[in-house]
Amino acid sequence: MTPADAAGPDRTLAVGELARATGLSVRALHHYDQLGLLSPARDGGGRRRYGPAEVSRLHQILVLRGFGLPLAEIAQLLDGTVVDPRELLRRQLEQAEERIAAAQRVRTTILAVIGALAPSGNALAPSGNGAGPSTGQLIELIERMIIMDQKFTPEQFEQLARRRREMADQLTPEEFTRLQERRAEALSALSPGQLAELQHRRRQLLPEQTP
């Protein structure tokens, strides 16, 4: 027994223990080690041993990762190099708000599509009349909902949804297909410039921009 072994109980964790404790994978901890983000000491056999300092640092890593920061930036932050924290907060706030807005647009559109698919009130029934809507019809609907979303207020939108439901009820599948074909033709007849404009408008709606 060497003097170094004479200390108290081991307050250190093996990689598997830490993984179980944090819900991370062992591989993730290996990864952090490779990056130099979290490099524990090694025991005689070369096995990783995480002490209080490492546990605490991992703690901080997880907090920052929860904010959506890339690991490289987390490393910079924790090592005190570069980066203005206030600037960082601003950026993360912006990104969070963009994510909220984008996801809300998707949510609104999906809800509208579900509503339009349920003329009799139950869109989620296990296919009462056979196969359910075709993919083509679905995409048609989605596109229309996206266009609707910003041209009308929710009230107008509700009105239109009702009308659309009535119309859809009267269309045969053949008519629906023809409608889609006419639409594809109209689109393909656009000049590149017109197409660019249309796509530009579309892009303004989908990825960014706070409503």
Near DNA in 22-61, by CB under 7 A: 25-28, 30-31, 44-48
For residue 28, the partner it binds in a second copy, DNA, none, with Cβ less than 5 to 8 A by kind, is: DNA
Residue 202 is a binding residue for a second copy (CB under 8 A): yes
Write the secondary structure of 1-63 as one string of H (helix), E (strand) and C (coil): CCHHHHCCCCCCEEHHHHHHHHCCCHHHHHHHHHHCCCCCEECCCCCEEECHHHHHHHHHHHH
Considering the complex, state which of residue 2 and residue 210 has its C-beta at the smaller distance from a second copy: 210
For residue 166, the partner it binds in a second copy, DNA, none, with Cβ less than 5 to 8 A by kind, is: none
Residue 176 is a binding residue for a second copy (CB under 8 A): no
Residue 14 is a binding residue for DNA (CB under 7 A): yes
Interface with DNA (CB under 7 A), residue from 10, 17, 143, 166: 17
| Interface positions, 28-67, toward a second copy (CB under 8 A) | 51-53, 55-56, 59-60, 62-64, 66-67
What is d(CA 147, CA 134) in angstroms, rounded to the nearest whole number? 20
User: Between vectors from CA 71 to CA 69 and to CA 74, what angle results, nearest 5°?
Assistant: 70
Considering the complex, state which of residue 26 and residue 123 has its C-beta at the smaller distance from DNA: 26
Residues in binding contact with DNA, number by CB under 7 A: 20
Interface with a second copy (CB under 8 A), residue from 100, 150, 173, 208: 100
- From the list 191, 187, 145, 192, the residue with the least C-alpha distance to 168 is 145
For residue 106, the partner it binds in DNA, a second copy, none, with Cβ less than 5 to 8 A by kind, is: a second copy
Interface with a second copy (CB under 8 A), residue from 10, 28, 196, 209: 196
| Residue 173: Cβ-neighbour burial (10 angstroms; 0-12, 13-18, 19+) | exposed
Residue 163 is a binding residue for DNA (CB under 7 A): no
- From the list 160, 142, 154, the residue with the least C-alpha distance to 205 is 142
What is d(CA 37, CA 75) in angstroms, rounded to the nearest whole number? 6
Question: Cα Rg for the chain, rounded, in angstroms?
Answer: 28
Residue 55 pairs with which residues in a beta bridge?
none
Going residue by residue from 117 to 146, which x/- string records binding to a second copy, judged by CB under 8 A?
A: x-----xx--x----xxxx--xx--xx--x
Residues that bind DNA in the complex, under the rule CB under 7 A: 14-17, 19, 25-28, 30-31, 44-48, 65, 70-72
